[in-house]
Amino acid sequence: MNRKELVRKDCVYYNTPSMIAPAALENVHSCENWLPRRGMSAWRVAGIIHALEGWETHECGNSASLMVEEDIDKVWAATLRHGFRPLNVPIAKA
């Protein structure tokens, strides 16, 4: 079965935001089986960055410790500073 036969016309396909792990991050050979080697979903990267930075805030729930929209640039800068880079994964065309 080829890839075109796997694409359904009644489904919508999206790219999942993902990043490539830096070479300095060891023992990461395959984190998610649908991404290339060293590829990680953005939400997994976010957890790593929060831990590396020692942040106690988060983006979910109804808490006073929620990150606010202004923190996006801070998170993005920290992500790049730690060596993660955006990954573009092409989607199948119907």
pLDDT tens digits, one per residue of 4-13: 566 777 877 6
Residue 92 resides in a domain = no
pTM: 0.70
Domain assignment present for 55? yes
Q: What does the pLDDT look like over 58-77, one tens digit per residue? A: 666 666 555 666 678 888 89
E strands, 1-94, are 18-20, 39-41, 85-87
Tell me how many domains the chain contains: 1
Q: Is 68 part of any domain?
A: yes
Q: Do the domain assignments include residue 73?
A: yes
Instruction: Determine the pLDDT at residue 80.
Output: 96
Is residue 60 packed enough to be buried (19+ CB in 10 Å), middle (13-18) or exposed (0-12)?
Answer: exposed
**Residue 93, in any domain of the structure:** no
Q: Is residue 74 part of a domain?
A: yes
Q: Given a cut of 60, is residue 94 above it in pLDDT?
A: no
Structural domain span for residue 81 = 3-87
Q: Where is 21: in which H helix or E strand?
A: none
Percent of the chain with pLDDT over 90: 21
